[in-house]
């Protein structure tokens, strides 16, 4: 059976382009292309789409309200697809309403990035078609711990830097983690999140909306401070130096940029066992081998568990190559990060 997709966009041209791009893949079928949220809500029970692509701004019902209603009644994986990177409506607010991912609209035919952006859309739609969704009202339960090993307090207290890598489904988990940490968290945190270009500043703003610790867009040479989260900028790898400063790079060693693999490799070179690495939900295997190397060096590593992962490819790859010290759900990851802070506090002089 082909993947059934509903396209929701108030632009006739955008709907046509999206339909043509998705239709190129024989495993995808556009079941409906509508111009507003009301039409989408009325057709979902009939079309039963596997995935919905939705524009950021639409007439009538707001996209956020449409997303909330869909997730409360007929939950379907929703991808926000937009050209608007400066709207007052932060696209990441849609994730809070239940959407799964944010993408830039594919570049038009003839544009040098047309093939790349079209393939990203197709790849995302196909990956999300297998994601099981549940009514939004049932999503308050935290999944249980999958499996874990005993980590000694000496290992936790030696952590001087924490790095988090994520792809599809990652922003929601990262925000959950950040919101759970106190303003005086004693360790700097690095974040490499695979995200469409142009939306990183919105992501940082969204993280700061309700978190106690400060999220900033990483810049080259910036001194890392406790209680801060440093997010990899567009098209730059995020790394560190022995002086505890940010080191950005644009080399082409890795297919992704920013690359989780680069971030973990940099931590291994500078901190060795004196760091913690966390690999969250996402497609592909970015960071998996490098996290296994960190574990071999004695670093503390965590892979998100399968039950709580939207897409388990990345953490699953890390687990398969014995790269995870622990396999945890997000609430347990927070517990480990708080435990790291507690062990460091105990070692501090009175």
Residues carrying an active site annotation:
167, 194, 286
The strand pair at 51-54 and 101-104 is best described as: unpaired
Residues in the chain: 350
Could you give the CA distance from residue 179 to residue 275 in angstroms, rounded to a whole number? 21
List alpha helices for the chain, DSSP H: 12-23, 37-47, 63-73, 93-97, 114-128, 153-157, 170-179, 200-208, 260-270, 288-296, 313-320, 330-347
- Is the separation of the CB atoms in 126 and 25 below 8 Å? yes
Residue 276: which of 303, 238, 236 has the closest Cα?
303
| Cβ–Cβ under 8 Å, residues 58 and 87 | no
The encoded tokens of residue 312 equal 């388990």
- Please report, to the nearest 10 degrees, the dihedral formed by the alpha carbons of residues 268, 349, 156, 142 taken in order: -120
Cα separation, 131 vs 197, whole angstroms: 24
How buried is residue 183: exposed, middle or buried, by Cβ count under 10 Å (0-12/13-18/19+)? Answer: exposed
């Amino acid at each position: 059976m082909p993947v059934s997709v509903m396209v929701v966009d108030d632009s006739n041209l955008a709907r046509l382009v999206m339909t043509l791009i998705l239709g190129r893949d024989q495993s995808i079928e556009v079941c409906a292309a509508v111009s507003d949220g009301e039409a989408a809500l009325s057709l979902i029970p009939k079309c039963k789409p596997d995935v919905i692509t939705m524009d950021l701004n639409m007439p009538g019902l707001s996209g956020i309200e449409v997303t909330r209603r869909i997730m409360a009644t007929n939950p379907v994986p929703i991808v926000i697809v937009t050209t608007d990177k400066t709207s007052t409506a932060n696209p990441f607010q849609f994730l809070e309403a239940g959407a799964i991912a944010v993408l830039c609209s594919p570049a038009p035919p003839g544009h040098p990035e047309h093939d790349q952006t079209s393939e990203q859309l197709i790849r995302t739609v196909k990956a999300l078609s297998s994601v099981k969704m549940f009514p939004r009202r049932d999503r308050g339960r935290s999944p249980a711990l999958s499996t874990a090993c005993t980590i000694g307090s000496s290992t936790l207290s030696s952590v001087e830097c924490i790095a988090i890598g994520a792809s599809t489904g990652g922003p929601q988990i990262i925000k959950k983690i950040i919101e759970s940490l106190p303003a005086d968290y004693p360790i700097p945190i690095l974040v490499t999140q695979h995200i469409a270009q142009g939306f990183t500043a919105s992501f940082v703003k969204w993280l700061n909306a309700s978190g106690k610790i400060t999220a900033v867009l990483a810049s080259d040479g910036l001194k890392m401070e406790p209680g801060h989260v440093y997010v990899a900028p567009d098209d730059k790898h995020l790394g560190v130096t022995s002086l505890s400063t940010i080191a950005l790079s644009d080399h082409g060693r890795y297919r992704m940029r920013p690359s989780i693999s680069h971030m973990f490799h940099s931590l291994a070179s500078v901190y060795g066992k004196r760091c913690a690495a966390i690999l969250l939900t996402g497609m592909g295997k970015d960071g998996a081998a490098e996290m296994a190397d960190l574990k071999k060096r004695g670093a503390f590593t965590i892979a998100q568990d399968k039950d709580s992962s939207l897409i388990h490819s990345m953490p699953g790859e890390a687990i398969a190559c014995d790269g995870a010290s622990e396999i945890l759900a997000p609430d347990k990851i927070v517990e480990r990060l708080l435990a790291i802070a507690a062990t460091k506090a105990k070692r501090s002089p009175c």
